[in-house]
Amino acid sequence: MDEHQIDSNRLDVLKELANIGLGNAVTSLSQMLGEEKVDMAVPVANTVPLQDVPDFLGGGEVPVAGIYIQSSGDVRLTILFVLSMDSATNLVSSLMPGVDGELDEMAVSALIEVGNILTASYLNAISMMTNLQLMPSPPEIAVDMAGAIITTIMAEAHMIDDEIVLMKTTLNTVDSEVEGNVLILPDYGELEKIFGLLGIS
């Protein structure tokens, strides 16, 4: 990524932003679950070459659920939250006790709401730390093979850089463990604006 390479210092900054954002998300998720205790693991952040992203999500042919938002305003970013189908059904079962986890219309709505909370919380953390005006789009969901979802969203994100930031985290409730991935797909040069405002050269 030449001058736009994300080194360890920049990854640490993105991870710290994730800690802030996901920490706020935990409170909202706990309220969705009837004040049930929710724990979220510290995200593990990596830069991943675009062509390898589906492999990091379990393989290009593996079905996943992806909820994503796009920001407009001072910075254009796409933030994507990806769940394996097992994690998606576990999450639905936690949110809707008595439901067998099938992804019907109500289950999809619940997943969209959770994904919206997570992605918007991260966006809000960036806004809070930089004073940038970031306006999220309504959340969208795609349930498809990992390769197909990533290809479609990357095309919409107008990406030029050949790596993205991928953060893995685990959400634990009383009854289930949900593994998820948060992907940051910036339009060209947009992360540079964020790092500049945070004093990271």
Q: What is the identity of the amino acid at 96? A: M
Residue 71: which of 159, 186, 192 has the closest Cα? 186
What is the reported pTM? 0.84
- Split at pLDDT 50, 70, 90, the class of 177 is confident
pLDDT of residue 176: 74
Instruction: Report whether pLDDT(3) > 70.
Output: no
d(CA 184, CA 17): 12
Q: Are 95 and 33 in contact (CB under 8 A)?
A: yes
pLDDT of residue 5: 52
pLDDT of residue 100: 66
- Split at pLDDT 50, 70, 90, the class of 67 is very high
Q: Is the dihedral of CA 148, 154, 155, 156 positive or negative?
A: positive
| DSSP letter for each residue of 66-118 | EEEEEEEESS-EEEEEEEEHHHHHHHHHHHSTT------HHHHHHHHHHHHHH
Model pLDDT for residues 159-171, shown as the tens digit of each residue: 666 678 888 888 7
Mean pLDDT across 97-115: 80
Beta pairing partners, 140 = 68
pLDDT of residue 2: 39
pLDDT of residue 1: 38
Q: Are 66 and 81 in contact (CB under 8 A)?
A: yes
For a pLDDT cut of 90, what percent of the chain falls above it? 9
Beta pairing partners, 155 = none
More confident residue, 92 or 67: 67
Mean pLDDT across 8-30: 79
Model pLDDT for residues 113-136, shown as the tens digit of each residue: 888 888 888 888 888 888 889 889
Model pLDDT for residues 33-64, shown as the tens digit of each residue: 776 677 777 778 888 888 888 888 888 899 99
How do the domains of the chain map onto residue ranges? 2-195
CATH superfamily placement of domain 2-195: CheC-like (3.40.1550.10)
pLDDT of residue 99: 67
Mean pLDDT across 194-200: 82
pLDDT of residue 22: 77
Instruction: Report whether pLDDT(84) > 60.
Output: yes
